[in-house]
Amino acid sequence: MKQSVKLVAGNWKMNGLGASLDEVETLKAALAEEASACRVALCPPATLVERMAAICAGGPVEVGGQDCRAEASGAFTGDIAASMLKDAGATLVILGHSERRQGYGETNALVLAKAEAAVAAGLSPIICVGETLAQREAGQAVEVVREQVIHSLPLALAGQAFAVAYEPVWAIGTGLTPTLEQIEEVHRAVRAAMIERLGLGGAEQPILYGGSVKPDNARDILSTPEVGGALVGGASLKAADFLQIIRAA
């Protein structure tokens, strides 16, 4: 099956102040010297989206949000709409990260509604799925992830640019990763579920792997069949580490 160009996206989570934008300047300067073979994105906290987008304007680094509200506007104190991220210069948004599914009780239905809002605002969603350790140990990883894909992806994604990120919950921030065989098995199941849900509209959009991607394991992970990129947390905070992962793609 034809694969679209790989996407290496960094998720800064709740890390980063204005001074951290120095890392983005370093990344930008390095990428100006060497043509990267993949798409590169960074998703900083909402407070930095506009400043990061200004630094990255016209260059290869795309900027994204880490979440958005499903509603377009209204009395939702503390929340942010997809159109606001777009207005600040974002082109992407991470949705359904396990830290939000687990910490805020986000359901597949809510993630689906947020993805519809993102597409309506002109953002490309990166929709996260992944099993817990208990689910993996019970032999349920493939079925859990399939269910999440089927119920989190709106039909409106067919024909749109988007990505699915497979992030085993037990691999995030732990230094643990599945074997390459396990990654391939789940990515193949994600692809089948995307096609089941969206038909040909689910055949080519990249499936990212996320969870403890580091400079020393990136090349193996990124060359695994059906791995269309990486969603990188901790190792995206420092330009030097993130660049090594980009170069491995």
The site map against ligand PGA for 170-199 (x = CB under 6 A) is --xx--------------------------
Least Å distance, CB 65 to ligand PGA, is: 14
Among 7, 163, 213, 249, binds ligand PGA (CB under 6 A): 213
User: Which of 29, 32, 50, 53 shows the shortest CA–CA distance to 41?
Assistant: 53
Query: What CA–CA distance (Å, rounded) separates 168 from 183?
Result: 9
Least Å distance, CB 175 to ligand PGA, is: 8
Is the CB of 163 or the CB of 235 nearer to ligand PGA?
A: 235
CA atoms within 13 A on the CB side of 248: 23
Chain positions 133 to 172 lying near ligand PGA, rule: CB under 6 A, are: 167, 172
Binding flag, residue 206, ligand PGA (CB under 6 A): no
Query: What CA–CA distance (Å, rounded) separates 4 from 93?
Result: 19
Give yes or no: 167 in active site.
yes
Q: Which residue has the tokens 């919950």?
A: 169
Give yes or no: 187 in active site.
no
Q: What is the DSSP string of 50-103?
A: HHHHHHHTTSSEEEEES--BSSSSSS-TT--BHHHHHHTT--EEEES-HHHHHH
Among 211, 226, 227, 248, binds ligand PGA (CB under 6 A): 211
Which residues are catalytically annotated? 97, 167
